[in-house]
Structure formats: structure tokens, C-alpha cells
């Protein structure tokens, strides 16, 4: 897990240096904060447009799908945060398999919950109750 984070950090640092070099070479008057504003703004907008398109389609199918994706994303971020915290404090081993176990645990239990809810809805409909 530590190696994965170091690799991600190295890639981010290289991209940062590349964008900074391009801006400098083009004679851009923007400082680092302004470049962050633009890069994150543009990346965030592109991500928003893509996510919005996917969520619009999912919403036609099921709000539960949106709820699952949102919960899954937050849980993955929380699991990663816990692993990083363990590494920084030395209280526990930072391990990618721990992160995956937590995410799979959520996925399995959410799947069971959704299945039980669907079966209950089917039974209510079959017996004429809403």
C-alpha cells in the first residue's frame, strides 16, 4: 500500500512539474495557486460532466444505484484514509488488502440488503400491499 501511494505521489509530482514547466515555457503570468485553480477547476468540471451523465442514466434506472455509488465512493475514501492514518501514526499496518477487505465487506452487505429489500417489495406486491 505504501508503494502504491508513493507511486501515485510520484506521478502527481511529475504532472505538477510538467504543467509548471509548460506554463513557464509559455510565459504564463500565473503563479502556483492560480495554476491549481485552473487545473483542478478544469479537471473537476470534466469529472462533473462525466459523472452527471452517468448519474442521469442511473437515476432513470434506480436511485438505489446512485445511493450505492455515493456510499461506495465515500467508504473507499474512508478506508484509504484509515490506512494512511495507520501508516502515519504507526498504529497498525498500512495494507492494500485491508482497504479491499473493507470495501468488499460493504459491497457484500449492501448487496444482501438490496436483495432483501427487493424480495420484500416483490412479496408486498404479490400479496396486493404497497
Torsion region of 62: left, alpha or beta (phi above 0 gives left; psi -120 to 50 gives alpha): beta
pLDDT at 114: 92
Q: How far apart are CA 84 and CA 94, in angstroms?
A: 7
List of long-range contacts for 91-94, beta carbons under 8 Å, 24+ apart: 94/1, 94/2
pLDDT at 1: 66
Residue 83 buriedness (CB in 10 A; 0-12 / 13-18 / 19+):
buried
The grid coordinates listed for 99 are 482497504
The grid coordinates listed for 81 are 484514509
The grid coordinates listed for 20 are 509548471
The grid coordinates listed for 40 are 483542478
Residue numbers of the chain with a pLDDT score lower than 70: 1-2, 129-130
pLDDT at 11: 84
pTM for the model: 0.66
69 and 58 Cβ atoms separated by less than 8 Å = yes
Owner of C-alpha cell 460532466: 49
Give me the half-sphere count of Cα atoms (radius 13 Å) on the Cβ side of residue 17.
6
Amino acid at each position: 500500500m505504501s508503494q502504491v501511494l508513493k507511486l501515485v505521489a510520484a506521478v502527481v509530482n511529475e504532472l505538477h512539474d510538467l504543467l509548471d514547466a509548460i506554463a513557464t515555457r509559455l510565459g504564463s503570468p500565473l503563479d502556483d495557486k492560480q495554476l491549481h485553480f485552473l487545473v483542478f477547476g478544469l479537471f473537476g468540471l470534466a469529472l462533473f460532466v462525466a459523472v452527471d451523465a452517468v448519474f442521469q442514466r442511473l437515476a432513470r434506472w434506480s436511485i438505489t444505484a446512485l445511493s450505492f455509488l455515493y456510499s461506495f465512493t465515500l467508504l473507499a475514501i474512508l478506508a484509504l484514509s484509515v490506512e494512511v492514518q495507520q501508516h502515519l501514526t504507526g498504529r497498525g499496518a498500512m495494507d492494500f488488502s485491508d482497504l479491499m477487505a473493507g470495501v468488499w465487506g460493504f459491497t457484500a452487505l449492501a448487496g444482501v440488503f438490496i436483495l432483501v429489500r427487493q424480495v420484500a417489495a416483490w412479496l408486498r406486491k404479490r400479496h396486493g400491499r404497497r
